[in-house]
Chain A
Amino acid sequence: MARITLSKLRHSYMANPQGPEDFALKEIDLSWEDGGAYALLGPSGCGKSTLLNIMSGLARPSHGRVLFDDKDVTDLPPDARNIAQVFQFPVIYDTMTVYDNFAFPLRNRGVDEGTIKTRVHAIAEMLEVVPLLSTRAAGLSPDNKQKISMGRGLVREDVNVVMFDEPLTVIDPHLKWKLRSKLKELHHKVRATMIYVTHDQTEALTFADKVVVMQDGEVVQIGTPVNLFERPEHTFVGHFIGSPGMNVLPCKVDGQAATFAGLPIPLEGGFDTPNSHSTQIGVRPEYVSITPTGIPAIVRKVADIGRHIVVEAVAAETRIRAVIHDNPPETGETIHLSFQPAQTRLYCNDWLISRPELSGSSPGTAGSENLMGAA
């Protein structure tokens, strides 16, 4: 068990990286606390798997260090790091029985058969695969195969971290839910640090206590699922999490006032003077409502998706989505929209700059740490 620290980590697949665009990972400083349940969330190609492979030792970072507690493991091979990794496609040893699959990592490390037996049975019980122990692993269903590859990771005592690289990709939808709750349960039992890589926000938000959101080789925000939803530090997080994603509206800033479509928009609080003219207002559709007065907008589309209705309207050539619960407007109708001030934020160059404590007036949610220090 260990705290994992990534210090000034950068990685490029090229021999001579020049600019930042040559780096798959750009300067990452990150700590994974011992025993935490993390999700690493981001779109395909954002560098999640690279980061994972660097932590497991399958890849060596071109710059920076990886520390387990205070020990530098940057140059250690995977088997010397005592970590476990579960891959997208289940990796099982076809010719072995389920029991031998579980025992394999232990046997490779010269553990005696008695200990192996106890460990394997404990893990099999936890994963509910005891009846399968003596069957050959080749014929199992994909979800059982994935359980076996998880088991091989968990069977070693005191693994530093178990990493899951989109482990549910090949699992049937109805089993995904089961396996995900199983994972959560496992985390409570074994208390090992778990890092779950995915591009699926539902998977990330249900599994993790803390979610690390990545984009283009950078960590844009680290926070609890609630944090990420309520107070995105970056417009990308706003887009990426939530369905539909956050509305991002270009705005003008004058002193401490922000205007959109010529109207002043009340914000959650004050902000430092933006260092660029690229400023945006961010508000989630859940906090946009149709009111008698407000920003005039023309309804483009109304979608009833069961639990609520998503209204898509256009104001000042910008699309605004609102989530409402009754009395949907007609398409083409002109409506007026208002934003809940406490949930309306100001972004500059896509990074959050408004802060509720600056004016002291708004009851905003607790801020999450901004590790990138861009605010």
Chain B
Amino acid sequence: MKTQNQKAWFFVLPVLILVAFNALIPMMTVVNYSVQETFGNNVFFWQGLDWFQQLLRSDRFHAALGRQFMFTGIILLIEIPLGVIIALSMPRKGFWVPVCLVTMALPMLIPWNVVGAMWNIFTLPDIGLLGYFMNNTLGIDYNMTRSPFAAWATIITMDVWHWTSLVVLLSYAGLVSIPDAYYQAAKIDGASNWAVFRFIQLPKMKQVLTIAILLRFMDSFNIYTEPFVLTGGGPGNSTTLLSIDLVKIALGQFDLGPAAAMSLIYFAITLLVSWLFYTLMTKDDAK
């Protein structure tokens, strides 16, 4: 006879507690806020789905969401191809490999708020290296605090500078795992450089690139610190991305209900896009 008892539950208990405290309980608090209105003093009024309805109809939310997708879209369009190109042109063996790898990894090691502060100073028109150079040497009117275009150009350049390395390192890992025989076979088959890229390198990089795109999507979609330190969402609302707007509502206006509803929608969008993308990319492999 097999012994039957409920002892196994004790073994799962630690994980259950951990997950409860770091995910479930905070998440449920947000859900709790999202369906109520509060004026402080721990007094709550039931609101049902009102906050969600209001938010989904609000122009402010649409605008922030639009800016968010534009930001993420642009940085992905730049960072992914650029990362792949850099990885392709990096040496595969010899003295320069560690030099390149360390140089590439450096930007990623800098804390996010420091990145924001660095770029803030870098772009100051009167004393910043870039700002001074653009305005006084090249004669281009470049001022992040006045021109939305300059602000956008700067946050995008900053993100590209900070995170392209991630794509480079992942692509590079994919590239070096390709056995020499593939390149030799391609040479014998008379394949052009483009064909080698299209039929050998790209397919072999597909999995790491999927991960790279996924990570860059999630990180850039949730980005807060760097643009907040750099532009504070301005000029006007021009660089107010979703997360910046969310913090404004939650901590600036102290509208906890709408902010909670917004967080949940924000979370749902991130999850949905990531899931869709991953499912589509890995669909073929399952066959």
A interface residue numbers (CB < 8 A to B): 53, 56-58, 77-79, 83-85, 87-89, 91, 93-96, 104-105, 108-109, 136, 139, 149, 152-153
Contact = CB atoms under 8 A, between A and B. Distances in A.
B199 A93 contact: yes
A77 B190 CA distance: 10
A109 B182 contact: no
A88 B181 CA distance: 8
A40 to B, nearest CB: 17
A108 B184 contact: no
A109 B188 contact: no
B146 interface: no
Given A88-B181, A139-B287, A56 B188 contact: yes
Interface string B169-198: 000000000010110110111111001000
Contact of A78 (B188, B192, B203, B204): B188
Contact of B190 (A58, A89, A108, A149): A108
B181 A79 contact: no
B88 interface: no
B181 A78 contact: no
Given A94-B203, A95-B203, A79 B187 contact: yes
Contacts, number: 58
Contacts of B179: 89, 91
Contacts of B31: none
Contacts of A139: 287
B117 interface: no
Contacts of B200: 93
A56 B180 CA distance: 15
Contacts of B184: 53, 56, 58, 78, 85, 87, 91
A89 B203 contact: no
A96 B199 contact: yes
17 contacts: A53-B184, A56-B184, A78-B187, A84-B188, A85-B184, A85-B185, A87-B184, A91-B179, A91-B182, A91-B184, A91-B185, A94-B203, A95-B203, A104-B199, A109-B190, A136-B287, A152-B189
A226 B185 CA distance: 34
A77 B185 CA distance: 12
Contacts of A57: 187
Given A91-B181, A91-B182, A83 B188 contact: yes
Contacts of B192: 108
A153 B188 CA distance: 9
B137 to A, nearest CB: 47
Contacts of B190: 79, 105, 108-109
Contacts of A152: 185, 189
A108 B198 CA distance: 13
A113 B200 CA distance: 23
Contacts of B199: 93, 95-96, 104
Contacts of A105: 188-190
Contacts of A84: 188
A177 to B, nearest CB: 24
Contacts of A85: 184-185, 188
B133 to A, nearest CB: 45
A83 B184 CA distance: 12
Given A53-B184, A87-B185, 10 more contacts: A58-B188, A79-B189, A85-B184, A85-B185, A87-B181, A91-B184, A93-B199, A104-B191, A105-B188, A153-B188
